[in-house]
Amino acid sequence: MSAVQILTGNQAAATAVKLCDVQVISAYPITPSTSLTEMLAEWIEKGELKAEYVRVESEHSVMTVCVSASSVGARVFTSTSSHGLLYMHEQLHWAAGSRLPIVTCVINRGVGAPWSIFNDQQDSISQRDTGWIQIYCRDNQEILDSVIQAYRIAEEVYCPVMVCYDGFVLSHTMMPVEIPEAEKVKNFLPPYKPHTILSPEEPLNINPVILPTQRRDAQGVLRDGYMEFRWKLQHALEGSRDVIVEVNRQFADLFGRDHGGMLWGYRTDDAEVYLVGIGSLATEATMAADMLREEGIHAGVVGIRVYRPFPREEIRNVLKNAPAIVIFEKDISYGYEGALSADVKAALYGTGISAPVHNYIAGLGGRDVKAAELAEAVRSSLAAVAGGVMERQTWLNCVTE
């Protein structure tokens, strides 16, 4: 039977990795992700988890180990935060370009300079164009469940997956988490069947320098050029939407928990203003929506669960009748606006949906964001919309003079 335990977000992630029978783990410590791999290392040392733990000198080497282990057919895992993820940047591209089903937990933390150990989502958002699927979690139960789903997704589409959740806000906060039976997880997640296996009997040359155009190999077979490989990765990411939704549906049928596939909604049926966000900030927005409804303002929330591939069609469907859209996010695409805001606007372009979109940059570097403050921001935006303001960018709780 499944059991309920009080776990931090990092403990929930580690428990999921153990349930997934991961074979190789490599990590380099960085706050606030350190306790996750410490727990895995302890289980390996005690013999409770049969896996190789590879200690290295940097996060760049961490992802190099993961790429190498996955290439030879192992199920692998790592976790990181902030500058650790940025240090992996080169190898993130290598993992995606090699079509390796690596899963990593990104415990979101602000990026320097100046230094901050506290939460925002700038680290993972800055890596959105590396070819990784990105899943964002609301609570510790969703962290555990999403790690399990991530391996199923990655191994079906042969693309790596980041499971992202807010540092300290979730990673070190304790919540009740239902732990599924190991046998049920095995039924849901079959053994990994790699698409490449290195062996002396069948030597392979993996990822050599490739020419711009297609050419024939020594056997006369026409092989892809660089652009064909890039198209196939893009096609796989776009096609992973259906897999993500189906994996979530099957998980809900087996374990009784539905996290929404690409996105989730809260009180959206009759909403006159839509609050849009990612992760725990979107959870905070649900409380703001409740406050607003007590005042007679029909507010609803759209939470983006999967940011890459971007839920374009789902966004269009849920916002098709939106009178006003207010986007809260813990990131900034410097020189423009919040990344989520830009992507939502792009998704709506050409659809006839002409709702005003207001963008609030919030919670950078761990700045506290309360539901009451989100509600006040929505009131301010609705007043501005009534005055004809279609677009607005505001930094919430920030002295901007």
Domain identity same for 178 and 279: no
pLDDT at 197 over 80: no
Q: Is residue 331 part of a domain?
A: yes
Which one of 167, 188, 209 terminates a domain? 188
Average pLDDT over residues 153-161: 98
Q: What is the pLDDT of residue 172?
A: 98
Q: What is the pLDDT of residue 393?
A: 96
Q: How many domains does the chain have?
A: 2
- Both tokens of residue 383? 């007043």
> Where in the sequence is the domain holding 75, given as residue range(s)?
3-188
Domain identity same for 131 and 268: no
Which one of 188, 204, 233 terminates a domain? 188
Domain identity same for 51 and 179: yes
pLDDT at 1 over 70: no
Nearest in space to 17 (alpha carbons), one of 45, 50, 46, 47: 50
Q: What is the pLDDT of residue 124?
A: 98
55-70, pLDDT tens digit by residue?
999 999 999 999 999 9
Q: What is the dihedral of CA 287, 292, 296, 302, to 10 degrees?
A: -70
How buried is 200 (Cβ within 10 angstroms: 0-12 exposed, 13-18 middle, 19+ buried)?
A: exposed
Which CATH number characterizes residue 94's domain? 3.40.50.970
164-187, pLDDT tens digit by residue?
999 999 999 999 999 999 999 999
d(CA 68, CA 63): 8
Mean pLDDT score across all residues of the chain: 96
Q: Which residues lie across from 54 on neighbouring strands?
A: 26
Instruction: Judge contact between 289 and 267, C-beta under 8 A.
Output: yes
29-56, pLDDT tens digit by residue?
999 999 999 999 999 999 999 999 999 9
Which CATH number characterizes residue 384's domain? 3.40.50.920
Q: What is the pLDDT of residue 204?
A: 76
Instruction: Judge contact between 345 and 319, C-beta under 8 A.
Output: no
Q: Is residue 219 part of a domain?
A: no
Of 45-49, 192-196, 396-400, the one with minimum mean pLDDT is 192-196
pLDDT at 217 over 90: no
Q: What is the pLDDT of residue 200?
A: 84
Domain identity same for 72 and 181: yes
Which one of 136, 154, 188 terminates a domain? 188
Is the pTM higher than 0.95?
yes
β-pairing, 306-308 vs 299-304, is unpaired
Alpha carbon 230 to chain centroid, angstroms? 21
Q: What is the pLDDT of residue 205?
A: 80
Average pLDDT over residues 97-108: 97
Instruction: Judge contact between 278 and 136, C-beta under 8 A.
Output: yes
